[in-house]
Amino acid sequence: MRFFVTTMAPERRNSTSRTAQRLAPFGTSIFGEVTWLAQDRGAINLGQGFPDFEGPPELADAAFRAMRDGHNQYARPMGAVPLALAISKQVERDHGLHRDPLTDVCVTSGATEAIAAALLGTLDPGDAVLTFEPFYDSYPAITALAGARFDTVPLHFPDFRIDFERLRSKVTPETKILLLNAPHNPTGRVFDDEELESLAAICIEHDLVAVCDDVYEHLWFDGARHRPLASLPGMGERTITISSTGKTFSMTGWKIGWAHGSARLVASVFAAHQFLTFATAHPLQHAMAYALETFDGPWLQRLRDEYEQRRQCLLDGLARSGFTAARPSGSYFVMARHDAFFDAADDPAEPDVAIARRLIERTGVAAIPPSSFYREAVSEGRRLLRFAFCKRIETLQAAMDRLAKGL
C-alpha cells in the first residue's frame, strides 16, 4: 500500500495534514489507488469489484419513469415505501424472515452507508467489534470513527474456515458486535451450516449484536447456497442484515443499500442514518423497488450461471499463468498465491504491493494487493493477490492472455 500512497497521493503523507487522528492510520483506500494506476497504464482492471457490463436496461427506464412521475424531492428518510415493501417481500421470499416494511427496514446510500450507520448507531467508545480477516476495508475505519476497538480472527488460505477456538478466545466483555460478511469478500467463502450454528451460539451466549454484510447474498456456486445468519433460531431479533442492489443488479454506481432487523435495532441504524445522509436518492429507490419485484428466481439463477462461467475463466487463466488460487464458492473474487512471481528485486516488505505493481506495468492487468485487509495474518496477505471476475468473458480472457504472455 505504501507504494501507491507515496506515488499517487503524496499530499496525504504531508506532515501538515489536517486529517483527523482517528482516520490517519487508514491512508488512502487501496481501491482508488489501484484504479488510478490501472487507468494511467491502460491496464485491464480486475482489482476493484465493479462490473464492466450493464445491469438490466429496464432499470434505467424505471429510474427515468420515477423522475418523470415526480419522485424528485427527499424520500421518506427510512426509505421510499415501495422499496421498503419490496425488500421486506424479498427477505420473506428468499429467507423466510418477517420484516415490517415500515419499522424493520432502513434504506441507505449503498451498503457502505448501512455498515457505517449500523456501527455508529450501536457502538459506544470502549466497545469492541469482532470480525474476520481479510476484511472489507471500511470496517476498521468506521469502528475507529465510533471510538471502538477492532479485533479480528484470521481465515487462512486456501479453505478459509472459521477457527472457533480462536474466535471464542477473542470475545471479551467489551465485545458488542460480531461483524460477518457472507458470502465473504475477498475469500469467496460461503459459511456452512455448522459454522453458522456455532456463530449463532456465540452471539446468543455473549449477547452480541450480529451485523451481517450480505451484499453478495445472491452470488453462490457449486451448491453452496447462502443462508443468512439472521434466519437461524434466536438470531432474527439480534441481527442487522445489510445488502444492496449494486452487486445483484450490476449497478454499483447507484448506491442503493439497506439494513433490516428488529424494529429496535433498525431504530439504532436510523439514529445514525438521519444525520449521515438523511435520505437516499429518491428516483433510484423506485427503480430498485421495480428491480426487486421483477427479477427473482430464474433471473437470479441465470446471473449465478453467468458468474460461474466467469469464475471458471479466471481460475483456468490463473492456473495457466502459475498462480495457486483458492476456488471461491461465493462473491466475485478469487484469492491467489503469487509465490511463483516474486523476485529478489521486489520489495520483500510488501511483496503483494510490489507484484501488483509489476502486473500492471508488465502485463497490463490490475489486481488488489490484499495485505491491508489483514491485521494479524499480514504476512499471509502479502503472499496473495485478489482478482475480481465481475467482468465480461472477453475481458477476462484478454486479461488471462496478457498474464500468460507477460509472466
Ligand X SMILES: Cc1ncc(COP(=O)(O)O)c(C=O)c1O
Task: Say how many residues touch ligand X, by CB under 6 A.
Answer: 14
d(CA 355, CA 157) in angstroms, rounded, equals: 18
Question: Is residue 214 a contact point for ligand X (CB under 6 A)?
Answer: no
Distance between CA atoms of 130 and 11, rounded to whole angstroms? 33
Helices (H), 21-135: 30-41, 57-68, 81-95, 110-122
Q: How far is the CB of 390 from ligand X (least distance, A)?
A: 10
Q: CB–CB of 403/387 below 8 Å?
A: no
- Least distance from C-beta 187 to ligand X, angstroms? 11
Name the residue type at position 327.
R
The interface with ligand X within residues 152-191 (CB under 6 A) comprises 181, 185
Q: Following DSSP, what letter does each residue of 121-135 receive, concatenated?
A: HH--TT-EEEEEES-
Q: Pick between residue 107 and residue 354 the one whose CB is nearest to ligand X.
A: 107
Cell numbers describing residue 113: 452507508
133 touches ligand X (CB under 6 A): no
Polymer length of the chain? 407
- Among 49, 79, 261, 370, which residue interacts with ligand X (rule: CB under 6 A)? 49
Does the footprint of ligand X cover residue 134 (CB under 6 A)?
no
Bond from prior residue into 183 cis (ω within 30 degrees of 0): yes
Residue 111 lies near ligand X (rule: CB under 6 A): yes
d(CA 213, CA 25): 23
**Neighbouring C-alpha atoms within 13 Å toward the C-beta of 361:** 6
Q: Which part of the chain contacts ligand X (CB under 6 A), choosing from 35-43, 94-102, 110-118, 305-313?
A: 110-118
Does 140 help bind ligand X (rule: CB under 6 A)? no
Contacting residue, 136, 221, 323, 387, with ligand X by CB under 6 A:
136
137 vs 308 by CB, closer to ligand X:
137
Smallest distance from the beta carbon of 215 to ligand X, in angstroms? 5
3-class SS string, 347-387: CCCCHHHHHHHHHHHHHCEECECHHHHCCCCHHHHCCEEEE
Segment contacting ligand X (CB under 6 A): 22-30, 79-87, 125-133, 244-252?
244-252
Residue 248 CB, shortest distance to ligand X, in Å, is 10
User: What gap in Å lies between CA 77 and CA 150, rounded to an integer?
Assistant: 29
Per the rule left: phi > 0, alpha: psi between -120 and 50, beta: everything else, 255 is left
Strand partners of residue 151: 130
Closest approach of ligand X to the CB of residue 259, in Å: 11
Grouping H, G, I as helix, E, B as strand and the rest as coil, residue 149 is strand
The residue within the footprint of ligand X, chosen from 110, 328, 364, 369 (CB under 6 A), is 110
Q: Is 252 in the site for ligand X (CB under 6 A)?
A: yes
User: Is 257 an interacting residue with respect to ligand X (CB under 6 A)?
Assistant: yes
Nearer to ligand X, 186 or 351 (CB): 186
Choice between 239 and 244, CB closer to ligand X: 244
Q: Does 215 bind ligand X (CB under 6 A)?
A: yes
Point out which residues bind ligand X (CB under 6 A).
49, 110-112, 136, 181, 185, 213, 215, 244, 246, 252, 255, 257
